[in-house]
Amino acid sequence: MKKVYVGMSGGVDSSLTAALLVEAGYDVVGVYMKNWTVNLPGRHCPWAEDLADAKRVAVQLGIDFKVFDFENEYKNKVVDYMINEYKLGRTPNPDIMCNQEVKFKLFLDLSMNDGADMIATGHYANVTHNKNGGFLLKAEDQNKDQTYFLYRITKEALNRTLFPIGQYIKPDVRKMAQDRKLFTFDKKDSQGICFIGEVGINDFIGQYVDCVPGDIIDKNSCKKIGTHNGAILYTLGQRHGLDVGGGLPYYVVGKDMIKNEVYVTTNIDDNSLWSKSVHLEQTHWINAIPKVGNIYDVRLRHRAKLVKAKMVYRDDNDTCDIELIDSQRAIMPGQSAVLYEENICLGGGIVI
């Protein structure tokens, strides 16, 4: 009987994951990853409540339960990474880094050392296993598909990972949890960035970085039209939160972190907002490396629609260039571009 350590967050997805594995005959151990316990202004961190919920489900299922404390590593690998990226003027995705550094590295390694044969999580994704490693596949529920966040996982890690709910849509997951009388069947899904939740990113960044007010400059007239609360807080394409008066809406088209200036325009077709060429660094390919000249599906941010792109350049230094078939708006440095070949997630890289 294979022993599987299940990451249990206290939510319905991971609760059902554990239940399905018990029913499938695995020797299941529930594990709560203690990653973040800091209270933020206006938001009490619910880690203790989530831990209690996860433990209660483990008792319902009659499985062993453990707590892995990764808080220091999480701060160093995920939180500090996010803050540093914002300081550089980019828009990072900490959930991707959490999966790379914590869930499918720290959690995987500690679980294996503790006697597990495999790990499992409540991600909406699918995986196939063979002797050469795992293949990451899109989830059945395209609205919940989380392969975008998982593209930096290694094939070796995938071969030791199970995603039991990847074949179901979210309403069915809740119904299956309710049928099993799991305590968390109607628990509200967490929102926002993994450790920030519903607290605004500006409020979070403001706790760690001195945000200095500066000028908002109209790109066309080169005149100051307003004052911002810190260039670090603004992203390409942003429309809301500028407070520059009436008339046509303004969009952020750039910023200068040295001058602490934010540049805006009312022209939605401004060349600074649209691009076809995308340069990626820190690329990671799970299995087959994309071939130059081939056309792939690309997702440029979570929940963005898949678009077509051609691989026009790739080297051995973890960089590549893709050419989008149709121009896309607000491709933000620091975000990830993830490539797909039909249902397979190939990997991707960081936009620069």
**What is the reported pLDDT for 189?**
86
**What is the reported pLDDT for 105?**
98
Q: Examine the domain organization and report whether 292 and 261 are in the same domain.
A: no
Q: How confident is the model at residue 72 (pLDDT cuts 50, 70, 90)?
A: very high
The whole-angstrom separation of Cα 6 and Cα 116 is: 10
Q: Is the pLDDT of residue 191 over 80?
A: no
HSE of 187, CA atoms in CB hemisphere, 13 A = 23
Q: Is the pLDDT of residue 64 over 70?
A: yes
Numbers of helices and strands, H then E, in the chain: 10, 17
**What is the reported pLDDT for 73?**
96
Pick from 221, 245, 268: which residue ends a domain?
Answer: 268
Q: Examine the domain organization and report whether 146 and 256 are in the same domain.
A: no
Give the list of residues 6+ apart from residue 54 with CB closer than 8 angstroms, or none. 8, 9, 10, 14, 15, 30, 32, 65
Q: Examine the domain organization and report whether 240 and 100 are in the same domain.
A: no
Alpha-carbon radius of gyration of the chain: 22
Q: Examine the domain organization and report whether 298 and 173 are in the same domain.
A: no
Instruction: Report if residue 202 sits inside a domain.
Output: no
Q: Is the pLDDT of residue 67 over 60?
A: yes
Total count of domains within the chain: 3
**What is the reported pLDDT for 243?**
85
Q: Which domain holds residue 337?
A: 274-351
Q: How confident is the model at residue 196 (pLDDT cuts 50, 70, 90)?
A: low
Instruction: Report if residue 21 sits inside a domain.
Output: yes
**What is the reported pLDDT for 318?**
95
Per the structure block, which two tokens stand in for 291?
Answer: 């071939």
Q: Is the pLDDT of residue 193 over 70?
A: no
Mean pLDDT for the stretch of residues 99-114: 98
Mean pLDDT for the stretch of residues 157-168: 97
What residues are labeled active site? 98, 194
Q: Which pTM was predicted? A: 0.94
In tens, the pLDDT along 324-346 reads: 999 999 999 999 999 999 999 99
Q: Is the pLDDT of residue 199 over 60?
A: no
Q: Examine the domain organization and report whether 14 and 142 are in the same domain.
A: yes
Higher pLDDT, 307 or 204: 307
**What is the reported pLDDT for 203?**
79
Q: Is the pLDDT of residue 32 over 60?
A: yes
